[in-house]
Structure 1
Amino acid sequence: MAPALTADSKQSATARVLGSATAGLTELLVFHPVDTISKRLMSNHGRVASVAKFNQVIFRDSASKPMGSRLLSLFPGLGYAAGYKVLQRVYKYGGQPVVNDFLTQNYASTFTNLFGPKTGKALLSATAGSIVGIGEVVLLPLDVLKIKRQTNPESFKGRGFFKILADEGFGLYRGWGWTMARNAPGSFALFGGNSFAKEYVLGLQDYSKATFVQNTIASIFGASASLIVSAPLDVIKTRIQNRHFDNPESGFKILRDMARNEGFSAFFKGLVPKLLTTGPKLVFSFAMAQTLMPAFDRLLK
């Protein structure tokens, strides 16, 4: 029988909520404009062959306005983004350790016997991340509204948040299957890449003892793997969510049209900007959450 894997130190639920919420808020304030740029690039159907076209895609109606107005145009949907981002980070970063603790308590020996203590521990963490990623679909309406505000603001037509909820109902869950299909491998790669780096690159036995620098290095591995793995499904998901509320176009039709009209490379549209922009955002918030949760735990004791 393989040797038992070593369990990480556990943080309290309060510490996990505080650490992940703080990471989410900080990420939002720093990176929301970057997220808007990435979403608008993914939503663009044509080629961006000039600086003028690039400005038109990025800044929309503000492309010809002064720089200050153009920069402000990158903050649409900030209220939706705040609600979504904080809830998402609390759920994902704070929830994965809970699922990981459960799997460790009940299935550690299975993972150890199948994969060995080191790989088993990393794969257990990745599996916990994938389970949490699938459940993230419950937050989809906030994500939909955030993306629409960033890429298709005319679909709101002056309606407020509660009016949209009443009008659209379960329509705000449009694309839920594609979201789950994206989140399962994406979250598996995020937490798995992070854990493999801590296990095999950094040689850590207790992941919660990692420094901010070590968490950052591990997060780079996890975030890069996650963005690459989930890129094709993320493009489809974004196009489903940014269309008008009354547009019934399915994800499979979008997939077929992309393959027919735009080619294979269309499924990786925005990947380089995402690696250069969303990548650091994910690395930043993931590393911060992993560092803050143990820190808050020590402060609360």
Structure 2
Amino acid sequence: MAPSLPAAVKNAATDKPIEAIRESTSARLLGAGTAGLAELLVFHPVDTIAKRLMSNQTRVANLTQFNSVIFKSHAHDPVTQRFFSLFPGLGYAASYKILQRVYKYGGQPFVRDYLQQNYRGDFDRTFGASNGKAILHATAGSLIGIGEIVLLPLDVLKIKRQTNPEAFRGRGVLRIVGDEGFGLYRGWGWTAARNAPGSFALFGGSAAAKQYLFQLSDYNSATWYQNFVASIAGSSASLIVSAPLDVVKTRIQNRNFEIKESGAKVISNMLRYEGPSAFFKGLVPKLLMTGPKLTFSFWLAQTLIPLFSGMM
């Protein structure tokens, strides 16, 4: 499939050709989907641990309490059963994670293409030619991140399965969707508020690493090693920037369905009873465990999309 943009698009600020967009639509979707599937298979238990730590509102003082937070009712079961207890909501996770990665990693290049074709000159004039390209990539990521709220119901169901399975009380997915309706979008504003800076930092951090660390003019020419380093930079920046709002979002989503607690109330209670450090609960485990997950999938997508495009 041919690229959607012409091979040479003039930059209005410099009158120089903008590099060709080489990825085909099929390559973008296939590369992003493969990255999402691989991430799910490898890192779903890690995601469950991080979500349960973020949802915990008690002080963990010893290993027994830590096991209770992580494994819940399975804390005293054999090791094998405890391990498989970290796979709740796998069906929701599969639907959400693969769709999310296809949307985010596969969709950002389309927004980037649009901005590059129509506003690249504005970015270069505002931020300078060397900075404009990286910020354009970051802005495209931020915009695609905001739109990610369309997948919010799947994320809500996944998180509840991971952290509060009692909320289902034997109801199936269709029954829950029928009962809750748009209630499954509860916390959408906080999700968008988290995704905007988080996705900006993810794609911007990666672009900045390629631009300033490796001096790449064509980001698609990055080697697997350069993509890996750039993915570490982007994912670390994203997790740190989005951490406070991610905790708020998770606590809104993990409540029982009948509890209608606003984000402002969640923040107020966190400040009152737990202090400002509560907004960074689970950050270290996320950097150590979720960070590699995001790095892995982002690196895989950035590597596979150009590879698949060259094969098609």
Q: Same fold judged by TM-score > 0.5?
A: yes
* Code of the aligned partner of 1:202: F
Q: Distance in 2 between matches of 1:121 and 1:3?
A: 15
Q: Distance in 2 between matches of 1:242 and 1:140?
A: 13
Q: Distance in 1 between matches of 2:16 and 2:246?
A: 37
* Code of the aligned partner of 1:235: V
Q: Distance in 2 between matches of 1:3 and 1:189?
A: 29
Tell me what 1:112 maps to: 124
Could you say which structure has the greater relative contact order, defined with CA pairs below 8 angstroms and 6 or more residues apart?
1
Q: How far did 1:9 drift? A: 3.2
Tell me what 1:234 maps to: 246
Q: Distance in 1 between matches of 2:61 and 2:148?
A: 36
Q: How far did 1:249 drift? A: 1.0
Runs of 5+ unmatched residues, structure 1: none
State the Cα deviation string for residues 245-286 of structure 1 (Å, max 9, x = none). Answer: 000111100000000110010000000000001100000000
The runs of 4+ residues in structure 1 deviating greater than 6 Å are none
Find the residue that maps to 2:98 and give its secondary structure.
helix
Tell me what 1:272 maps to: 284
* Code of the aligned partner of 2:272: R
Q: Distance in 1 between matches of 2:84 and 2:249?
A: 26
1:21 counterpart = 2:21 = no
1:208-247 paired onto structure 2 within 5 Å: 208-247=220-259
Which of 96, 121, 138 aligns to 2:108? It is 96
RMSD value, Cα:
1.0
What TM-score do you get using the length of structure 2 for normalisation?
Answer: 0.94
Q: Aligned residue pairs: how many?
A: 300
* Code of the aligned partner of 2:133: K
Tell me what 2:146 maps to: 134
CA contact (8 A) 2:156 2:254 kept: yes
Runs of 5+ unmatched residues, structure 2: 1-12
What TM-score do you get using the length of structure 1 for normalisation?
Answer: 0.98
State the Cα deviation string for residues 61-109 of structure 1 (Å, max 9, x = none). Answer: 0000000000000000000000000000000000000000000000011
Identity within the alignment, %: 66
Which of 42, 60, 77 aligns to 2:89? It is 77
Q: Distance in 2 between matches of 1:74 and 1:55?
A: 12
Q: Distance in 1 between matches of 2:119 and 2:19?
A: 12
Q: Distance in 2 between matches of 1:199 and 1:11?
A: 19
1:179 to 1:5, Cα distance in 2 relative to 1, 3 A: farther
Q: Distance in 1 between matches of 2:182 and 2:39?
A: 29
Tell me what 1:292 maps to: 304
Tell me what 1:207 maps to: 219
CA contact (8 A) 1:182 1:230 kept: yes
Which of 51, 58, 64 aligns to 1:46? It is 58
Q: Distance in 1 between matches of 2:102 and 2:92?
A: 16
Which of 262, 265, 268 aligns to 1:256? It is 268
Q: How far did 1:2 drift? A: 4.8
